[in-house]
Chain A
């Protein structure tokens, strides 16, 4: 936007000021550090979280994984700017027992401050909008699931989870789910607050006394689930966990038939 007027006397435009800033050697060296840091965070962010997190067994968990990776990528340039400039100044430190000579006396730079606010606001906006889109698609999926979801009533008590399948007439202390069928969890506590967390499904909500909370998801991968309590609930909070399984529809029906009319262990 600045290249169409060449008069020397004219006040330089913001674009020209910016170009002048980037002509300084120290800015370029610090920027190089910043680019290096950004690249490192970008690469690490792409694989480190998914490699730590357990296997995603639902679309919810998959989208959380994706979201965390994307947020890491958004953050990478922020890390690059902060650490790039930190590293540069750290490498130019002053050693010794007497203070260094005074540095340049500039007190602010409205262009830099303005740019900083705009860029950080833009990054913040991206994060907000992306999060809202994800929330929206999750609630759209919820509306969709309502139609043919299988209901599981989850009861938290000190210190165990129990599951009731009203449609099937089955009670269990293990969470068994058929693959690819939406499931709606209705969660309640008989005593203090607990938090229902089937880890690999990527959903979580508190179990409250006399207030049913509802979450839904669709398991889409066969395998084992860890069910944990994510809210400190007293003495044996750490042991308030159970296992579960996502199984094929046939296996699930077999399990239902075998357990109808009685409790499993």
Chain B
């Protein structure tokens, strides 16, 4: 990658016009992917056999071959193929892949520039949130009154499951995708990610999962929720294959992205950026992906086993033939609980990055912040069976899992301390990103405290499987993590698009979403406390009031998100031109102009302190 060290302006736009890579883009990827998929589907006999296992086998193979075909068609394997024959891409081709000077076209190519990948992730996340949010609106519309009058139970159950998995995927990448790729390398003074081609790979592999996930609708939906518990998942119709394939493809993408981000932070920090000078956002993002690296493979494995049970009649999860549904539950939650912290930690880290800038004070107790993240990361792998208190699996282990779960409240408390200590005795500048910090404090407080009830085994006897659980995790994942991500959007929008986000629309959206959120999920806490099970298409009339309240709140969120979408699109095209450092921040990404040059920095930066040197009277 030495060729990338040249200054952008002295380099002519590369045009290796004879090379195959100039001919390939998303369009060729789609064509080859569809050809691969069709060939596989009809090669294996389509659904003509009519046998459950055969059909599942055909569908799974079709979906994987679509993904592989797309990656072939977009040119992902040109480099590895050259390695096989003992060569590599030429310098000119590498520069071409970086996309410099190719304008909007590079966003539809296998582009290795981390800034392009960041924008691709951002648009992808917005699309996923839009789809998942639309499903949420349909769920709440169905629950607005008893009787399931909007959609029937088949569609409702699919909505619940696909809303869940769409949002989980979106939330896993919502911070580390756009900001982890676009901002983080600049923040640590690097020219790009450690492995730019793997970076492009992680995005485009993820992209191929999206049509696969959508195909679930056309294959009859999924009846299992996103937890996909066996044996229900074994019994489920062909739509389940789409779920399985999505998770396996997504796990490949996150493994690649996680390794890449970790390697970048470990190996490519600017000169002088010792570990105690790394911005807290970078620390949080790294811990999050490092936690994902061991967590997601178990989800992938559980899905491979589910796929085998369904398409080769193995019996991993079939109790009738010696398997165990609890085995699945374990594999799922060994991923599932770390995963919520994979989502949460980057969102919190964004807010910790924002708070010092807008209060003009140093981050309070950097070490406590690290200890908080590390404590959560470490403990989160020891708590999974609190999701199984009521499964009957092993009641005598409920006590130990209750202890580890409640211990998480101590490092979580440190996160509150760091943010409150940063605010304390400052005068917070109430711009949109700073409002997110306050919304987080309230939402995460409610999410954390309601988690305390759920972690307690006797109380969980009542609350488990009820709407209370749904409300609780929406407070943590949406109220805390998504709020952090949206604050990050408002904060880094000027650097990513060169324009300021429309403030008035931003405020309107913020208040609509946050107030609607409280109405929705406080209403849902009531429904849960009243005894309404979760994931029900219909409910008895005594829950009608709380469900109506929830649905009204949901529409407010929907409206607020539409306003935000308008603000993003409008500001991106017509917004006020942003100065280089609109917030007066001290991190490195604000020292580079817009558009950010290909290698980010003219001269590699040298770091002499952490980025929190705000405030009078020095240390």
Contacts and interface: CB of A to CB of B under 8 A. Distances in A.
Interface of A: 26, 49, 52-54, 60-61, 63-64, 67-68, 71, 75, 78-79, 81-83, 85-86, 89-90, 92-96, 99-109, 112-113, 116-117, 120-121, 123-124, 127-128, 131-132, 134-135, 138, 187, 191-193, 195, 197, 199, 202-206, 208-211, 213-214, 226, 228-239, 241
Interface string B587-619: 000000000000000000000000010111111
B616 A210 contact: no
Interface string B354-398: 000011111111111000000000000000000000111000001
Between B224, B410, B456, B618, the greatest number of chain A beta carbons within 10 A of the residue's beta carbon is seen for B456
B130 interface: no
A113 B368 contact: yes
Given A104-B361, A228-B531, 20 more contacts: A53-B531, A64-B459, A86-B423, A86-B441, A93-B429, A94-B430, A99-B360, A103-B425, A103-B616, A104-B616, A113-B365, A127-B456, A135-B399, A197-B465, A203-B461, A206-B392, A209-B320, A230-B466, A234-B157, A238-B537
Interface residues of B, number: 90
A67 B533 CA distance: 21
Contacts of B231: 191-193, 209
B531 A89 contact: no
A208 B416 CA distance: 40
Given A105-B362, A208-B326, A232-B535, A99 B584 contact: yes
Contacts of A86: 420, 423, 438, 441-442
A239 B358 CA distance: 51
A15 to B, nearest CB: 21
A228 B533 contact: yes
A230 B391 CA distance: 11
Nearest to A49: B529
B399 A132 contact: yes
B428 interface: yes
Contact of B148 (A68, A127, A208, A238): A238
Given A112-B421, A127-B452, A104 B390 contact: no
A81 to B, nearest CB: 8
A83 B445 contact: yes
Contacts of A202: 461-462
- 3 closest Cβ pairs, A-B complex: A105-B615, A230-B465, A213-B392
Given A230-B464, A230-B533, A94 B429 contact: yes
A106 B612 CA distance: 11
A204 B464 contact: yes
Interface stretch (B70-78, B401-409, B548-556): B401-409
Given A124-B409, A232-B229, A237-B535, A64 B462 contact: yes
B319 interface: yes
Interface in B501-517: none
Contacts of B403: 128, 132
Contacts of A96: 429
Nearest to A195: B465
Given A85-B420, A124-B409, A105 B619 contact: yes
Contacts of A75: 449, 452
SS class, residues of chain A in contact with chain B:
mixed
A228 B540 CA distance: 11
A230 B421 CA distance: 42
Contacts of A134: 456-458
A228 B462 CA distance: 12
A128 B459 contact: no
B424 interface: yes
B531 A67 contact: no
Nearest to A212: B392
Contacts of A210: 319-320
Contact of A113 (B235, B417, B534, B618): B417
The CB with the most chain A CB atoms within 10 A, among B320, B398, B427, B612, is that of B427
A89 to B, nearest CB: 4
Given A52-B529, A99-B583, A93 B362 contact: no
B350 to A, nearest CB: 18
Nearest to A24: B425
A235 B534 CA distance: 14
B517 to A, nearest CB: 17
Contacts of B391: 193, 205-206, 208
A93 B425 contact: no
B319 A208 contact: yes
A107 B619 contact: yes
Nearest to A99: B584
Contacts of A203: 461
Contacts of B407: 124, 128
Contact of B615 (A104, A204, A209, A235): A104
Given A121-B410, A134-B458, A228-B533, A107 B614 contact: no
A106 B325 CA distance: 54
Contacts of A135: 398-399, 402, 457-458
A89 B420 CA distance: 9
Contacts of B410: 117, 120-121, 124
Most A-side CB within 10 Å, residue of B231, B360, B417, B462: B462
A30 B359 CA distance: 17
B398 to A, nearest CB: 7
